[in-house]
Structure 1
Amino acid sequence: MPTKKPSVLISGGGVAGPALAYWLARRGYAPVIVERAPGPRGDGYRIELSSSGTEALRRMGVLERARAEGGGPPAAELVAGPRDRRFTAPPVGTDTLAIRRDRLGRILHDRAADDTEYLFDDTVTALHQDAGGVDVEFAGRAPRRFDLVVGADGLHSTVRRLAFGGDTAEHTRFLGTNLAIFTVPNRFGMRDVMRFHVWPYRGCMITTFPGNAEVEGLFLIRSARPLDMRGLSGEERRRFLAKVYAGDGWQVPELLRAMRGAAVHFAPSLQVRMDSWSRGRVVLLGDAAYCPDPMTGQGSVMALLGAAALAGELDSAGGDHTRALPAYEAAVRPHTDAAQDMGCYSTGLIAPRAGRAGVRLREWAVGAALTGLRGAARAGVPLGSPPEPGDGFPLDRYAAVPG
């Protein structure tokens, strides 16, 4: 009689969940993904994957498709001072992949789907652990029992709340900024570029999507406490931003006009900080465990690396969660800590905690750095990828190259 495959419920069908399901299935597990949405998500902001992230995709056999649906990194352009002087540098890091998050999620879904059971339009409502497994209750289905439950359900993780207690605020750190992010048609004449302008305690960034048909607009605002915009309509949010950025000029008025009719995601900049990522047979993965903040650009990379490590450690431990889960955390945490350390720097770059004199000094420093990169490129000096938190991650231990 064939041995029953160990069952793993994964809550969340974004990036981390399908990546984990793929690696688990290759190791003889039976992954099940429960996803609140009725199908693969069709919306998403722009993300960049550094070399460790693209290598993880290569080992999953999907990098070629991801590159076809994405593109390379954009040039960087700082617009500085009252005269909007521009400092431009070419793209750095030839291995970097820029792609919409929903497209990456769809690619990973398709890769995992043949060996994964999907439960769409549902969510976990209760977890009951004992020595042999976890009984899981769902909002729209009969209860089921699993050997392991993984919370890959993002910043506001339901699994984290059920297993660890507390709401999102108890497990997060506010970085002192709030972001408004949205996608609009490219009426700015931009091609393969990321432009940003900063003012005291606020900033604005406009970045092209691969293909240049659309741009992603981002406003970043400093505040002592998180701004709660949940009760405001889209037009009320736009008016709030217009008031904050009144008189700032540059392309802000045009961007605010383009926002009309766009879906605007407004949220405080938060990091998830956990003393432990597991409790018994329940473990957290990706943003649910270690969200670094969207401004770092590291969330999806850390999700991909964490998925490979979690599946690999479960395999090495023969399914013994008491050994595998601490080993997974020990392997991944140094890299997620480094990614989170980038959070304050990233938000501080776009929304300086400084007055006008401090902003001018920062503009001078960043402008000089960009000018140096441009000069090096013109001189034929190779511009390699800058150090990233995922550098040195032992993918060879967890993710064999597909044969």
Structure 2
Amino acid sequence: MRPTKTILISGGGIAGPALAYWLRAYGFTPVVVERAPQIRTGGQRIEMSGVGAEALHRMGLLERIRAQSGQPPEGVFYLGRADRRVDMPSWSPPSETRYERAPFAVKRGVLGTVLYENARDGVEYVFDDSITEIRQSDDGVDVSFENSPPRRVDLVVGADGLYSNVRSQVFGPADRFTRFLGTNLVIFTVDNYLGHRDSMSWHMWPYRGCAITTFPGNTELEGLFLFRSTTPLNVRDLTVDQRMRLVDKIYADAGWEVPGLLRAMRDSRDFVFTPSTQIRMDSWTRGRVALVGDSGYCPDPMSGQGSTLALVGAYILAAELKAAEGDHTRALPAYDAAMRRFVAFSQGVADFSTAFAAPRTGRWGVWAREQQLRAFFAVAHRARRMNLSLPAAWDYGGSLSLEDYRPAA
């Protein structure tokens, strides 16, 4: 069996160009096929720290990304019908005080563009195309496309997101791997009509929540609605206007800043309405095919870990291929095993975040939770003034670090 050389990557978002960069650096020949006609520059706000920032640092991109980013916004909660303001204590865990792991906020489009520009030299990109068939054999993979001639490659990597084309062709239909988290997410970008600065403002009601967050630079706001349902709301057959009217109905009796946000939503540039879902799989590899990023282990946007997992997965997959000298029978199982702890942590964050932002309880349950928050934040503020450390559970992600695959000097 000849060693792996040419690797076809389906998807040019975050995981795709990150993987292409590392593969090229390790002497492989990556080819990226992307359904869109060009790199997508839109998208939501990303907060990154820990291993995600560390992965960018190892690519030599952290300075460049930070120059186009900002500090994570300060959390503010508005509680009860009186909208009483309670500031969330800002307290960076010890593991994130190092520069290469310190938190920052950046637009997804900025991150994707920098990754693409970093990878495109020496990497073939095929835009406006998609894989139609994948046929594996002992010595390679024959791939057919919508618009391009067929190719024979050594490996195929699906980095094509939650609705992965590669996953559906090789592993089976999406419903086999999709886990509904009990909430539906609406997220969109509008001009900063409120004049907020460096803040993330939250309010919650029974079975619903809302957040308004500034983008770096404070010229735009990200509006977020999260609400519960027993089954995922299927809105694919609805127009954007019909989806917005459904959100209007669900939040019709909410106060606070919601009425103004619903009006501003009508002029949003990137309105998204989607069930909160994760991809859960027993294996992210099969034969000569591997999945990386959301296609294999989407943690859900509420986790804030999607881009981190994409960067970490790309780093580990490429490094394991290098360590195995291109032998995919050794590299792919090693990649699968190495990613498990990162994925388990990130998907657990989503369970906590959705339960916190959209309470699974009625009016009195929300009131009790608000009192707990007020008491807890008061204690946390006092502890911070006394320079006391956080409980270890708050910094569980700090125990996750990237293995250094570089050979010892």
- Flag whether TM exceeds 0.5 (same fold): yes
Q: Measure the CA separation in 1 of the matches of 2:406 and 2:201.
A: 38
Confirm or deny: 8 A CA contact 2:30 2:123 kept in the other structure: yes
What secondary structure is seen at the aligned counterpart in 1 of 2:309? helix
Q: Which residue of 1 aligns with 2:338?
A: 331
Seen in structure 2, the aligned counterparts of structure 1 residues 388 and 264 have a Cα distance that, compared at 3 Å, is: farther
Q: Which residue of 2 aligns with 1:276?
A: 283
Q: Which residue of 1 aligns with 2:375?
A: 368
Aligned to 2:324, which of 292, 304, 317? 317
The CA deviation string for residues 255-297 of structure 1, in whole angstroms up to 9 with x for no partner, is: 0010112131000000001111111000000111111110000
Structure 1 residue 43: Cα displacement = 1.1
Give me the CA root mean square deviation. Answer: 2.0
Confirm or deny: 8 A CA contact 1:10 1:152 kept in the other structure: yes
Q: Measure the CA separation in 1 of the matches of 2:24 and 2:407.
A: 13
Structure 1 residue 338: Cα displacement = 1.5
| TM-score normalized by the length of structure 2 | 0.93
Q: Measure the CA separation in 2 of the matches of 1:286 and 1:242.
A: 33
Alignment pair present for 1:131 and 2:130: no
Structure 1 residue 303: Cα displacement = 1.1
Structure 1 residue 367: Cα displacement = 2.9
Q: Which residue of 1 aligns with 2:43?
A: 44
351-360 or 4-13, larger mean C-alpha shift: 4-13
The CA deviation string for residues 81-100 of structure 1, in whole angstroms up to 9 with x for no partner, is: 11001111253335111111
Confirm or deny: 8 A CA contact 2:142 2:150 kept in the other structure: yes
What is the number of residues matched between the two proteins?
A: 397
Structure 1 residue 25: Cα displacement = 0.8
Aligned to 1:115, which of 122, 127, 143? 122
What secondary structure is seen at the aligned counterpart in 2 of 1:137? strand
Q: Which residue of 1 aligns with 2:212?
A: 206
229-238 or 320-329, larger mean C-alpha shift: 229-238
Q: Measure the CA separation in 2 of the matches of 1:42 and 1:384.
A: 39
Q: Name the aligned partner's letter for residue 281 of structure 2.
A: M
Q: Measure the CA separation in 2 of the matches of 1:172 and 1:84.
A: 36
Seen in structure 2, the aligned counterparts of structure 1 residues 165 and 30 have a Cα distance that, compared at 3 Å, is: same
231-240 or 295-304, larger mean C-alpha shift: 231-240
Structure 1 residue 383: Cα displacement = 7.5
Q: Which residue of 1 aligns with 2:256?
A: 250
Q: Which residue of 1 aligns with 2:72?
A: 73
Identity value in percent? 53
Seen in structure 2, the aligned counterparts of structure 1 residues 399 and 360 have a Cα distance that, compared at 3 Å, is: farther
Alignment pair present for 1:97 and 2:104: yes
What secondary structure is seen at the aligned counterpart in 2 of 1:395? coil
359-368 or 138-147, larger mean C-alpha shift: 359-368
Seen in structure 2, the aligned counterparts of structure 1 residues 390 and 335 have a Cα distance that, compared at 3 Å, is: farther
Give 5+ residue unaligned stretches, structure 1: none
Give 5+ residue unaligned stretches, structure 2: none
What secondary structure is seen at the aligned counterpart in 2 of 1:238? helix
Q: Measure the CA separation in 1 of the matches of 2:278 and 2:253.
A: 32
Confirm or deny: 8 A CA contact 2:3 2:325 kept in the other structure: no
Q: Name the aligned partner's letter for residue 35 of structure 1.
A: E
Alignment pair present for 1:387 and 2:395: yes
Structure 1 residue 38: Cα displacement = 0.9
| TM-score normalized by the length of structure 1 | 0.94
Structure 1 residue 45: Cα displacement = 0.6
Alignment pair present for 1:25 and 2:45: no
Q: Which residue of 2 aligns with 1:289?
A: 296
Q: Which residue of 2 aligns with 1:64?
A: 63
Confirm or deny: 8 A CA contact 2:88 2:377 kept in the other structure: yes
